[in-house]
Amino acid sequence: MKKDDVLTEWNEKEVKVDKKSARKLVWKTRLSITYTVIRVLFIIFFLYLLYIIPVSVFYDMSGKQAEFDRLVTTIVETRNPGIAVDKLDFRRAEINPFLTQETSLTLYRNIGEWEVVVGEVTAKKTLFGEVKINLDFDRRYLNESNTQSYAVAPDLLGETYTENNGHSSNLTLSQLEKMNDGFVAQIQFSTIKSMTPEELINILSDYDVQVYQMPIYGGELTDSEVSNYMGYGRAGQFTFVSSLMLRPFIEYDEKNRQSSSIGTLSGEGSIDEAESQFYQDMEWLIENGNYQDKELDKARLAYIKENGMQVYGATVTGPIREVERLMDEELFHQFHLGGVEIWNWYE
């Protein structure tokens, strides 16, 4: 064998050995890096659990979870006509690693004895931030208005009511006349003069309907401390403004969990308990909430305490024919149909 052939063969064997060693080294390096990454990720995840579990447990046990749900529920129900929040929703407020509170609750309308789901409210609050609320409705029609402000009673503005045959009332009457008896409806109306909640309940006691909300005048258009924060709409002789709502009585325990409630404003004694709870709810909301209308609510609550509770409309539900009868009541006007469902009414 020639010397050059022997040298070539030896070099080839050496190269093969070097390639094999290199491949082993590469795989060892890859495995080592992979193991290191997995170990780091596991440590990070473990540290995350050590952080988030105590935070979540403290959040739940401290009552902050129920407090945030109560805050969101109170804000939504005291300023959105015809809408209620499902307080038995099993979804509850949560807190994330950045200490941001979040909740998502179901919205519904009372139509007859049905509780008809109409959407969802989501809310978020950072550690030192303002509560931000978004209402997401299940829209069926383009340009659909899911909430409608009440027309302020003219006497609250120092004005005189004149006979009105508004488009909204005519349209609502036409819709109701075309419906059979086997339906129930929710309807919203305003009153041509202001009155106490008891006075309005007394008028409605002649009708087979359940009352769920009443708009309370809080000086939105006449008190300078309040009107500085308010916007309003005008249509003919009527002024429409977003108001606070008197809602059915809801009582909470010391941990902000619902302890008892009355379903409507209609039952005996219900209106008195609802009025008393309204003041408690607003005072609690102002003290505990950091939300957009906080200063406005302070001014409105001060006005209501000084001038008494005056209402100028209601949201009610009942059988079609009873709802239709309401339109013959000379004190009611500006009707808006909130929804219609097949018959479901107590006998």
Distance (Å, rounded) from C-alpha 38 to C-alpha 32? 10
Name the band, by pLDDT with cuts 50, 70 and 90, for residue 201: very high
Per the domain annotation, does 196 fall within a domain?
A: yes
What DSSP string runs through 70-110?
HHHHHHHHTTSTT-EE-TT-S---EE-TT--EEEEEEEEEE
Residue 288 is predicted with a pLDDT of 93
Per the domain annotation, does 245 fall within a domain?
A: yes
Distance (Å, rounded) from C-alpha 322 to C-alpha 204? 11
| Residue 134: C-alpha distances to residues 45, 75, 323 (Å) | 32, 11, 31
Residue 206 is predicted with a pLDDT of 95
For 225-273, how does the pLDDT look when each residue is reduced to its tens digit (9 = 90+)? 888 888 888 877 789 999 999 999 998 988 888 888 888 999 888 999 9
Per the domain annotation, does 15 fall within a domain?
A: no
pTM of the model: 0.84
For 111-169, how does the pLDDT look when each residue is reduced to its tens digit (9 = 90+)? 999 999 999 999 999 988 899 999 999 888 877 778 889 999 999 998 887 776 555 67
Residue 133 is predicted with a pLDDT of 95
Residue found by looking up tokens 């006005």 in the block: 303
Residue 9 has pLDDT above 70, yes or no: no
Per the domain annotation, does 22 fall within a domain?
A: no
Domain of 321 in residue numbering reads as: 146-342
Per the domain annotation, does 7 fall within a domain?
A: no
Domain count, the chain: 1
Residue 121 is predicted with a pLDDT of 95
Per the domain annotation, does 237 fall within a domain?
A: yes
Name the band, by pLDDT with cuts 50, 70 and 90, for residue 4: low
Name the band, by pLDDT with cuts 50, 70 and 90, for residue 295: very high
Name the band, by pLDDT with cuts 50, 70 and 90, for residue 345: very high
Residue 38 is predicted with a pLDDT of 87
Angle 270-288/197-204 helices, nearest 10 degrees?
140
Per the domain annotation, does 38 fall within a domain?
A: no
Residues 81 and 150 sit within 8 Å (Cβ to Cβ)? yes
Name the band, by pLDDT with cuts 50, 70 and 90, for residue 79: very high
pLDDT, averaged across the chain: 87
For 299-344, how does the pLDDT look when each residue is reduced to its tens digit (9 = 90+)? 999 999 999 999 999 999 999 999 999 999 999 999 999 999 999 9
Per the domain annotation, does 211 fall within a domain?
A: yes
For 11-46, how does the pLDDT look when each residue is reduced to its tens digit (9 = 90+)? 555 555 566 677 777 777 888 888 888 888 888 877
